[in-house]
Amino acid sequence: MHGEDTHPDVPGVPAPEEPTVQEPTEPRAPLPPKPDQGAPAPVSATGRGPQDGAAARSQDGAYLTNAQGTRLPDSDHSLKAGPRGPVLLQDHHLREKITHFDHERIPERVVHARGAAAHGVFESYGAGAGISRAAFLAAGARTPVFVRFSTVLGSRGSADTVRDTRGFATKFYTDEGVFDLVGNNIPVFFIQDAIKFPDVVHAAKPHPDREIPQAQSAHDTFWDFVSLHTEATHHTLWNMSDRGIPRSYRMMEGFGIHTFRLVAADGSTCLVKWHWKPKLGVHSLTWDEAQQLGGLDPDFHRRDLADAIEAGAFPQWELGVQVMPDTPEQTFEGIDLLDPTKIVPEELAPVRPLGLMTLNANPTNFFAETEQVAFHPGHLVPGIDITDDPLLSGRLFSYLDTQITRLGGPNFAQIPVNRTHAPVNDMLRDGFHQDAVHPGVAPYKPNSLDGGCPFFAGAEEHAFVEHPLPVAESKKVRESPASFADHFSQPRQFWLSMTPVEQEHIIAAYTFELGKCREPAVRERTLLALARIDARLCAQVADGLGLPAPEGETVEVDPSPALSQLGARWPVAGRTVGILTGPDTDPEALAAVREAALAADLVPLVVAPSGGDPDRVQRSFATARSVEFDAVLLAGTPGPAADATPVRDARAAGPDDTVDPRIALLLGEAWRHAKAIGGWGEPARDTLTAAGLPADGEGVVLGEDPVQVLREVADLLAEHRVWKRFPAPGGGE
């Protein structure tokens, strides 16, 4: 404070206060570079100083400069004619700063705008070496990767937990060039031909007049399109299943969807479908959790991924392939391998593991890396070739094209996150955002002025040589093969492969989405499609909408048990356990349980009334909600604390005054969302009863030994939820 001081320039006005928090004046040590952030060889036009963007602009120098490297004495005040006078046009620093800011935003991706990403490494088992010559599939090869997960429909600022397909795009920085596997968490696609992509996206995006709804398919135009265009039925059914609301990016499968052709060193080929299998299993939120999280933590998936990596709980996936013979028909067991709306059931072609991917580093800068990464299914390496899937063919055009608008020109491969780790020796020149200062005078071939360089490579020198597949003699047509007309057999197979709980969730999802459609014709047409999947599915959705259920013909198919998410047990590493405490909590028991939880790689979060030890207490009754816990433990009586502000609003109306209403709400939600609940001693039993929950209910573990209770709860967590508790009492799910 300056007390009586007056302003040095304006008489009678108090002097401005000194800021209490000062910006650091000492330069920080730069962060270590990530493997894919290596600068290109610095080629300087003058031969002096760094010319590379990453090195020159890393903000680790001692003095603030402008974009030209000139040091600045002030960046907080415009240049004015006196402190109260007009701002001068000659303020070039102001103009540079604001102009740059005005252009900070780039167009968001037309689809998959919202995403989160991480760096990692892919380690090959060598099991793919016999079927593909790709160097990164050789035994022991370690390849840096960058993975971006995304939702499809929402814009950049939309919520993570909406019902939608998730993108799963991986960039492998191999020694032979970049390989991009641009997949989704659903193994089939909406359309069979890329020419329909603008249609499906226009239908699914918000209505053009009001720009609603955001980030979801629950609206007329989407269901109008998919009910008229029944090849979308299979993908839509997956979307309406629990796959549409993943628990975490770390717990999603990934699929390359199209059939690819692998080429071995001896020239032999096979057809494959790519799969990513998460080590933590495939798990989903409940719809109710997803709704709550949309408001309570719209960044739930993004935060979960970054937190896990920061904590050292590196997520892992096995990359595998289903291998099918490369026959002229390109079918397998009657399934057309060129149809991207079809799967090959894993019972018919098991997934062969090829290697392990570990995500072990968060991006340093969201814009530079996550936003500017540019994937393209045409980024292929020797040993991996395409098939004639018409959806894939269109994608090979689209991705290159979109980056030119999005990243401002054809030189996006020079952006650090997109740079290959293989030496580049191209003849591409000039253009917007050209970073390189190319030497040489002959960027053309053939040339003699640059000594004929660079030379062409053959397959032996790791060139990408297209597989010389015979092209069928035919006539030009705009039509699909007859096999593409089967739109209902695999949707029925998916439905029949679901457990009753999963089927209930699908029914609820269709009912919700169609309930948001205003046009009767759209709902009726969708019910007709559902009737062709299954009569009960159709009847129950119709019932929910108050409409008559139409009849439809269904086909005979065998279920594929691998499609269900239930029935297996998975590692519990990284799962959160909320520990609810009260005044009578035994500190020793609490410490022992926390220790045991940490030893089991669980994340224990202690919830206390208020005013607890900040080193031990992570949440208060006022800040804890059930949706951030995978399981809940009662370590005492979380009754109303003397010093806690009583909450008696409608959401928190507890059935009994002996338990804090916020905790009654939390326990009720944990019960409804089928989460394991544990506790020890009489207080736990009393609290459950006071919260209106059955102490001997399914998935409730009460005992005397706190560590044993934790172990049993962790055992229940291995199945993700207490599935027997569905459908939830009160009809929650």
Q: Which residues are annotated as a binding site for heme?
A: 109, 148, 197, 395, 399, 406
**Strands lying side by side in the sheet with 603-608:** 619-620, 603-608, 576-581, 631-635, 676-680, 700-703
- 402 in contact with ligand HDD (CB under 6 A): yes
Residue 14, classed as helix, strand or coil, is: strand
- 120 in contact with ligand HDD (CB under 6 A): no
Strand blocks (E) in 311-395: 316-325, 331-332, 335-336, 351-361, 384-385
Q: How far is the CB of 331 from ligand HDD (least distance, A)?
A: 19
Candidate list 181, 257, 349, 606; residue touching ligand HDD; CB under 6 A = 257
Please identify, using beta-carbon distances, which residue of 161 and 291 lies nearer to ligand HDD: 161
Stretches 110-118, 219-227, 474-482, 588-596: which one binds ligand HDD (CB under 6 A)?
Answer: 110-118
- 689 in contact with ligand HDD (CB under 6 A): no
CB 242 within 8 A of CB 500: no
Please identify, using beta-carbon distances, which residue of 484 and 680 lies nearer to ligand HDD: 484
- 148 in contact with ligand HDD (CB under 6 A): yes
- 110 in contact with ligand HDD (CB under 6 A): yes
- 155 in contact with ligand HDD (CB under 6 A): no
184 annotated active-site: yes
Stretches 6-14, 179-187, 295-303, 476-484: which one binds ligand HDD (CB under 6 A)?
Answer: 179-187
Tokens of 409: 């020109």
- 340 in contact with ligand HDD (CB under 6 A): yes
Q: How far is the CB of 111 from ligand HDD (least distance, A)?
A: 5
Q: How far apart are CA 510 and CA 289, in angstroms?
A: 17
How many helices (H) and strands (E) are present in the chain, helices listed first? 16, 18
Q: How far apart are CA 147 and CA 142, in angstroms?
A: 15
Q: How far apart are CA 247 and CA 678, in angstroms?
A: 21
- 150 in contact with ligand HDD (CB under 6 A): yes
Q: How many CB atoms lie within 10 A of CB 696?
A: 8
- 184 in contact with ligand HDD (CB under 6 A): yes
- 395 in contact with ligand HDD (CB under 6 A): yes
Please identify, using beta-carbon distances, which residue of 375 and 680 lies nearer to ligand HDD: 375
- 109 in contact with ligand HDD (CB under 6 A): yes
Please identify, using beta-carbon distances, which residue of 153 and 282 lies nearer to ligand HDD: 153
Q: How far is the CB of 336 from ligand HDD (least distance, A)?
A: 15
Please identify, using beta-carbon distances, which residue of 97 and 406 lies nearer to ligand HDD: 406
Catalytic residue among 2, 7, 184, 467: 184
Q: How far is the CB of 471 from ligand HDD (least distance, A)?
A: 22
Label residue 274 exposed, middle or buried (CB < 10 Å: 0-12, 13-18, 19+).
buried
- 394 in contact with ligand HDD (CB under 6 A): yes
Q: How far is the CB of 457 from ligand HDD (least distance, A)?
A: 28
- 116 in contact with ligand HDD (CB under 6 A): no
Label residue 288 exposed, middle or buried (CB < 10 Å: 0-12, 13-18, 19+).
middle
């793919």: which residue's tokens? 128
Q: How far is the CB of 374 from ligand HDD (least distance, A)?
A: 6
Binding mask 374-393 for ligand HDD (x = CB under 6 A): xx---------------x--
Please identify, using beta-carbon distances, which residue of 112 and 301 lies nearer to ligand HDD: 112
Q: How far is the CB of 392 from ligand HDD (least distance, A)?
A: 7
Q: Would strands 603-608 and 619-620 be described as parallel, antiparallel, or unpaired? A: parallel
- 314 in contact with ligand HDD (CB under 6 A): no
Tokens of 183: 């997949």
- 194 in contact with ligand HDD (CB under 6 A): yes
CB 358 within 8 A of CB 316: yes
The amino acid that residue 57 corresponds to is R
- 158 in contact with ligand HDD (CB under 6 A): no
Closest to 510 in 3D by CA, of 534, 493, 485: 534
What long-range pairs does 44-52 form, CB within 8 A, spacing at least 24?
A: 44/437, 45/437, 51/437, 52/435
112 annotated active-site: yes
- 505 in contact with ligand HDD (CB under 6 A): no
Please identify, using beta-carbon distances, which residue of 171 and 720 lies nearer to ligand HDD: 171
Closest to 216 in 3D by CA, of 235, 196, 240, 190: 240
Residue 116, classed as helix, strand or coil, is: strand
Candidate list 183, 574, 604, 636; residue touching ligand HDD; CB under 6 A = 183
Catalytic residue among 77, 92, 100, 112: 112
Please identify, using beta-carbon distances, which residue of 151 and 291 lies nearer to ligand HDD: 151
Q: How far apart are CA 179 and CA 666, in angstroms?
A: 46
Binding residues: 109, 148, 197, 395, 399, 406
Q: How far apart are CA 248 and CA 570, in angstroms?
A: 14
Q: How far is the CB of 561 from ligand HDD (least distance, A)?
A: 24
Tokens of 541: 């959705």
Query: What φ, ψ does residue 190 adopt, rounded to 5°?
Result: -65, -30
Q: How far apart are CA 529 and CA 358, in angstroms?
A: 41
Q: Would strands 676-680 and 631-635 be described as parallel, antiparallel, or unpaired? A: parallel
Q: Which residue is nearest to ligand HDD (CB)?
A: 167
Please identify, using beta-carbon distances, which residue of 115 and 638 lies nearer to ligand HDD: 115
Tokens of 123: 């380690």
């089991």: which residue's tokens? 600
The amino acid that residue 10 corresponds to is V
Please identify, using beta-carbon distances, which residue of 394 and 571 lies nearer to ligand HDD: 394
Given its phi and psi angles, is residue 281 left (phi above 0), alpha (psi -120 to 50 degrees) or beta?
left
Q: How far apart are CA 606 and CA 588, in angstroms?
A: 14
Candidate list 399, 464, 570, 723; residue touching ligand HDD; CB under 6 A = 399
Binding mask 443-462 for ligand HDD (x = CB under 6 A): --------------------
- 197 in contact with ligand HDD (CB under 6 A): yes
Radius of gyration of the chain (CA): 29
Candidate list 153, 169, 321, 676; residue touching ligand HDD; CB under 6 A = 169
Active site residues: 112, 184
What residue ranges bind ligand HDD (CB under 6 A)?
Answer: 109-112, 115, 148, 150, 167, 169, 182-184, 189, 194, 197, 257-258, 340, 373-375, 391, 394-395, 398-399, 402
